[in-house]
């Protein structure tokens, strides 16, 4: 019975043209626009990244330079702390006559490096006067380019919208008497919830796989851990399906859920960095994602793409999915 219900819901998704367009076509168009946008962003040098300053010099000159760079950053409206786009390390043995720095850039946009060069130049002049030797700067990129983070986040966002649309239709069928007919066949609330979760998770998995594969192909990237990425996609789609089903159960009616779902999805997208990358958000909002399943989903996918194993994120998603499934089943049972 669970298999039959799962197949029926899956066929409903396949024949839902609006869900297909929202889930498969719209992300492709948006990724094309996004790639063009990132190809030109920051070319005028206007992008000013936030930085963290680490003084490992152990010298007076190094401390003076670090203090000057900190003042320059604050004066230029650049903050330090969680979610910094670059880390500037004053290397051991730093001296004013032979200055050397290590800069790890988390945001590899053209304007970011140009802005960092300018910050370092101004700080060096403020610390030691002019003319002085220009610091030798060793740039390296951290393994999380903004393009990849945006691809993962937007794929997650479109999947949430698509599943919300399917759940809204399912609530309409439930109101038309489908729930009562299934209850008449002695299909319990938990079994019905498991079947719906399986069907929705399958649809979400297909959508995430297609959209993320296209994004990585467009960016000429490939996952270093394909098996881990597939596991992350499965956990992310299951957690999303179960969570939205639980919310739908609390809403009870399709009209109420359809009105509330876009607000919930957009809020989750913003708070978790799916719409706007976390590193570009105000620091006061950056810690919020640690409590959201959408952030765990993105972390698991990005970790797998980089070649590592996001075991903790998948455990979090698995526990969250289980709790959401049980919650949805309990809510539905009380409504019988």
Tokens of 290: 């640690």
What are 221-251's pLDDT values in tens digits?
Answer: 778 888 888 999 999 999 999 999 999 888 8
In 3D space, the residue among 98, 5, 108, 2 whose CA is nearest the CA of residue 49 turns out to be: 108
Domains recognised in the chain with CATH numbers: 2-38+146-335 (no CATH), 51-141 (3.30.300)
pLDDT for 40? 42
3-class SS string, the chain: CHHHHHHHHHHHHHCCHHHHHHHHHHHHHHHHHHHHHHHHCCCCCCCCCCEEEEECCCCHHHHHHHHHHHHHHHHCCCCCCCCCCEEEEECCCCCCCCCEEEEEECCCCHHHHHHHHHHHHHHHHHHHCCCCCCCEEEEEECCCCHHHHHHHHHHHHHHHHHHHHHHHHHHHHHHHHHHHHHHHCCCCHHHHHHHHHHHHHHHHHHHHHHHHHHHHHHCCCCCCCHHHHHHHHHHHHHHHHHHHHHHHHHHCCHHHHHHHHHHHHHHHHHHHCCCCCHHHCCHHHHCHHHHCHHHHHHHHHHHHHHCCCCHHHHHHHHHHHHHHHHHHHHHHHHHC
User: What stretches in the chain show pLDDT beneath 50?
Assistant: 37, 39-48, 75-83, 143, 175-176
How far, in Å, CA of 136 to CA of 119, rounded?
14
pLDDT for 79? 41
């Amino acid at each position: 019975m669970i298999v039959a219900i799962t197949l029926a819901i899956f066929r409903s998704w396949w024949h839902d043209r609006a869900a297909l367009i929202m889930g498969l076509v719209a992300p492709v168009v948006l990724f094309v626009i996004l790639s063009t946008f990132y190809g030109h962003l920051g070319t005028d040098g206007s992008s000013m990244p936030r930085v963290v300053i680490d003084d490992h010099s152990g010298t007076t000159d190094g401390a003076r330079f670090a203090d000057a760079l900190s003042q320059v950053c604050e004066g230029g409206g650049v903050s330090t702390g969680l979610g910094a786009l670059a880390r500037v390390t004053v290397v051991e043995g730093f001296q004013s006559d032979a200055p050397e720095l290590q800069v790890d850039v988390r945001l590899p946009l053209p304007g970011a490096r140009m802005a960092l060069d300018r910050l370092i130049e101004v700080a060096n002049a403020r610390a030691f006067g002019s003319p002085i030797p220009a610091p030798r700067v060793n740039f390296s990129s951290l393994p999380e380019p903004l393009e990849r983070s945006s691809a993962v986040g937007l794929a997650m966002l479109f999947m949430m919208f698509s599943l919300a649309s399917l759940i809204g239709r399912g609530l309409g069928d439930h109101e038309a008497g489908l729930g009562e007919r299934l209850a008449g066949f002695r299909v319990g609330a938990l079994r019905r919830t498991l079947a719906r979760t399986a069907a929705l998770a399958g649809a979400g998995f297909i959508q995430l796989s297609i959209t993320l594969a296209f994004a990585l192909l467009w960016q000429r990237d490939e996952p270093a851990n394909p098996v881990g990425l597939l596991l992350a996609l499965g956990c992310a789609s299951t957690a999303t399906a179960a969570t939205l089903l639980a919310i739908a159960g609390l809403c009870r009616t399709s009209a109420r859920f359809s009105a509330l779902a876009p607000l919930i999805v957009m809020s989750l997208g913003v708070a978790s960095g799916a719409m706007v990358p976390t590193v570009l958000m105000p620091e006061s909002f950056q810690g919020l994602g640690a409590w959201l399943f959408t952030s765990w989903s993105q972390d698991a996918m990005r970790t797998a793409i980089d070649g590592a194993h996001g075991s903790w994120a998948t455990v979090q998603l698995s526990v969250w999915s289980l709790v959401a499934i049980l919650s949805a089943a309990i809510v539905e049972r009380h409504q019988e």
